[in-house]
Amino acid sequence: MIAITPATVLQRRSDVRYRRIEGEAVVLRQSAAEVLVLNEVGASVLELADGELSVGEWIDALAGEYDGDSASLARDVLAFAAELAEAGLLEPVAGGPEP
């Protein structure tokens, strides 16, 4: 599992294509055959991974959208970002802090 901190800046890999449909997201990688379905939080994370915002800024943005305590949201987002990076959907921005 790749270690992700709030300072990490991630972006979607260039071969990732996705569609957001009724909250969830369907994700394809051009270099792989599998198709993934992400839940609403996962879809939001994928959308926020624009290579400019840090993971900490994602957490702040999502805190305004979802109810619940901020500590568990932060934990979930960090874990989700690591999973998406592990799955090859996200990558660290070149020159940014190493995950």
Residues found near another protein in the complex (CB under 8 A): 15, 17, 19, 21-26, 28, 30, 33-37
Q: Which is nearer to another protein, 3 or 21 (CB)?
A: 21
Least gap, CB of 99 to another protein (angstroms): 26
Q: Assign 40 to helix, strand or coil.
A: helix
Least gap, CB of 18 to another protein (angstroms): 8
Q: What phi and psi values does residue 58 have, to the nearest 5 degrees?
A: -60, -45
Least gap, CB of 43 to another protein (angstroms): 8
- The two tokens of residue 68 are 């619940």
Q: Which is nearer to another protein, 3 or 32 (CB)?
A: 32
48, exposed or middle or buried, with CB in 10 Å at 0-12, 13-18, 19+? buried
